[in-house]
Amino acid sequence: MKAWVPLEDMPEEEEQEEVEEDADIGDEDEMADFIVDEDDDDGTQVRRKKLKKKKSRQASGVSSSALQEAQEIFGDVDELIQIRKQGLESSEWRERRLEDEFEPTVLCEKYMTEKDDQIRMNDIPERMQVSEESTGPPPLDDFSIMEESNWIYSQIAGGTQPFFAESGLLINKDDVTRFLELHHIQKLDIPFIAMYRKEECLSLLKDPEQHEDDENPYDTDRIPTFKWHKDLDRKWLLLQKRKSVLNSYYNKRMEEESRRIYDETRLNLNQQLFESILKSLKTAESEREVDDVDTKFNLHFPPGELVVDEGQYKRPMRRSQYSVCSKAGLWEVASKFGYSAEQLGMQLSLLKMEDELQDAKETPEEMASNFTCAMFESPQTVLKGARHMAAVEISCEPCVRRYVRLIFMDKAVVSTSPTSDGNAAIDSFHQFAGIKWLREKPLKKFEDAQWLLIQKAEEEKLLQVTINLPQKVMDQLIDDCNGRYLSIGVSKYAQLWNEQRSFDTEGCTLWFFVAFNEERGYVLADK
């Protein structure tokens, strides 16, 4: 039997410790019987374990009741950190693990890349999004759409598209404009337009094999034989993108050139050339014409020297004969020959008729004697260099090249002859037997696969292929150039200057041969 102890004899410290422990136990026992039974996935009950509260140590200046109240409001800090880690693992790190576990080719095949997610988010057909990555977003203003519709209509009406040229379909220009509005502004793909908006651009989507007397012209089970293709639209957008890039580059290059030159006469001439180049670039309607403009720009404004770091070797630059003559100041002599290359091209194209040529009041030798130097010691060498510059400028003029190209595509002839290997390999039963010997066959007469056989035989080095103009056509071309380039004066000075100008026209024909031999790739593409 426990002995009774008076209350006043109990120690005070022991009484205080027991009160605090009873208070803690009381707080824990309030939720001790609150146990929730949960059902597992298979239906068995799982008894949830009671969370043991961590005994928080009392910080200096903070009572235990205040610390306990803060923990009940905000929760356990360690638990919040654990929840945050789980969230990061489930969302942000999942993609990284996906990229680490699978090859990029597998992700591309399964359409699981970030690019595919972006395509799914945009409310635009996928093919249009992929196409705009290379062409850029199309302009949506009325002027740009009208300009593109005019270009597409001219391409179709001019016979550049074989389908429309062979079928003889008549295209309505308003249908082209409406198609561009549906495709660019409303972002409708071509199959959707052909199925649900066909009546708005019917002349573009009309089936040439479908006759008017068909019993059921709207039969949906019939396999369509023709659908409008957006090749021309894509060509136009790529053309405009390239012209925009070149325009920015030309302006930047012109600013660099203007800071480098201090001669006022040279600056004025460069400004005239630059304005002419920008005008030609704006009116260019094909990749070939843009190439012509770029050739002229690089002739007059060649790329500057690259800045190399210290310790690196500087690669030697290739200097053409034209640049050597230009740096020697012979461009002033070449400008005295008469019409500029642009003026000659305008006259050949019948775009503008210039006034009568005014001849100089001194002989070519007298003028050339003022420009002799260490590299060009005599007037004859000065005139030779000036003639070279004038001939190169004429051959690089876009208007002149366009004029000669039309003649070339219409009058050019093709000749073939076997090489030593081809002579031994090609017999009467060979697939190249029909093209083994060709003599001046007109280029426009190739209408079947014979041209592809010629190309294949040339790649296999079994045939030698030459494409040129007949001598009669060449003589006529030179006469046309002389008729518009030479002076009609009868004075002594006029005759002497005409001799120099005639050398220019003969020299530029050699450059034409070089240029159009380089353009054989274009001829192959056209055929």
CATH of the domain at 495: 1.10.3500.10
**Residue scoring higher pLDDT (121 or 15):** 121
| Beta bridge partners of residue 463, listed in sequence order | 418
* 110, 138: one domain: no
* Angular region, 136: left φ>0, alpha ψ -120 to 50, beta rest: left
389 and 325, same domain (yes or no): yes
Asked, for residue 32, whether it belongs to a domain, the answer is: no
Q: Strand pairing of 463-468 and 438-442? A: unpaired
CA atoms within 13 Å, Cβ hemisphere of 198: 12
Which residues form the domain of 283?
240-303
Residues 385 and 483 in one domain: yes
| pLDDT above 90: residue 275 | yes
CA distance 340 to 397: 10
Q: Which of 243-257, 351-365, 434-448 has the lowest mean pLDDT?
A: 351-365
> How high is the pLDDT of residue 39?
52
Total number of domains in the chain: 4
Q: Order of strands across the sheet with 463-468?
A: 438-442, 413-418, 463-468
Gyration radius from the chain CA atoms: 42
Q: Please check whether residues 255 and 332 belong to one and the same domain.
A: no
The dihedral built from the CA positions of residue 250, 251, 256 and 262, taken in this order, carries a sign that is: positive
The pLDDT of residue 254 is: 92
pLDDT band at 7 (very low <50, low <70, confident <90, very high): very low
Are residues 270 and 376 both part of a single domain? no
Mean pLDDT, residues 487-497 taken together? 83
**Mean pLDDT for the stretch of residues 159-188:** 76
Q: State pLDDT tens for residues 367-386.
A: 889 989 888 889 999 999 99
Q: Which is it for the CA torsion 334, 340, 341, 347, positive or negative?
A: negative
CB neighbour class for 190 (10 Å; exposed up to 12, middle 13-18, buried from 19)? buried
Q: Is residue 146 scored above 90 in pLDDT?
A: yes
Q: Are 509 and 478 in contact (CB under 8 A)?
A: yes
Name 388's Cβ contacts closer than 8 Å, sequence gap at least 6. 321, 322, 325, 507
* Ramachandran area for residue 244 (φ above 0: left; ψ -120 to 50: alpha; else beta): alpha
338 and 350 Cβ atoms separated by less than 8 Å: no
Domain presence at residue 34:
no
Confidence of residue 25 (pLDDT cuts 50, 70, 90): very low
> Has residue 97 been placed in a domain?
yes
Work out the pLDDT band at 23, boundaries 50, 70, 90.
Answer: very low
**Across 474-480, average pLDDT:** 85
Across 324-352, average pLDDT? 86
Burial class (CB within 10 angstroms; exposed 0-12, middle 13-18, buried 19+) of 361 = exposed
33: in domain: no
- Asked if 286 and 395 sit in the same domain, the reply is no
> Looking at the structure, do residues 285 and 166 belong to the same domain, yes or no?
no
Residues 380 and 515 in one domain: yes
Look at residue 215 and tell me if it is in a domain.
no
E strand or H helix at 381, and its extent? helix 379-395
Residue 8: DSSP 8-state:
G
Of 273, 303, 333, which residue sits at a domain end?
A: 303
Residue 191 and residue 262 share a domain: no
**One-letter amino acid of 72:** E
Question: Across the chain, what does the average pLDDT equal?
Answer: 77
Q: 254 and 378, same structural domain?
A: no
Using alpha carbons, select from 362, 307, 291, 293 the residue that is nearest to residue 333.
Answer: 362
Classify residue 153: in a domain, yes or no: yes
Q: Is residue 235 part of a domain?
A: no
Whole-angstrom CA distances from 399 to 27, 159, 283, 325, 482 are 98, 22, 11, 24, 16
* 23 belongs to a structural domain: no
400 lies in the same domain as 500: yes
Say yes or no: 349 and 493 in one domain: yes
Count of beta carbons in the 10 Å neighbourhood of residue 427: 10
75: left (phi over 0), alpha (psi -120 to 50) or beta: left
> If we measure between CA atoms, which residue out of 257, 306, 294, 275 comes closest to residue 401?
294
Please identify, among 162, 190, 206, the residue that sits at the C-terminal boundary of a domain. Answer: 206
96, 121, 146 - which closes a domain: 121
Residue range 467-493: mean pLDDT, rounded? 84
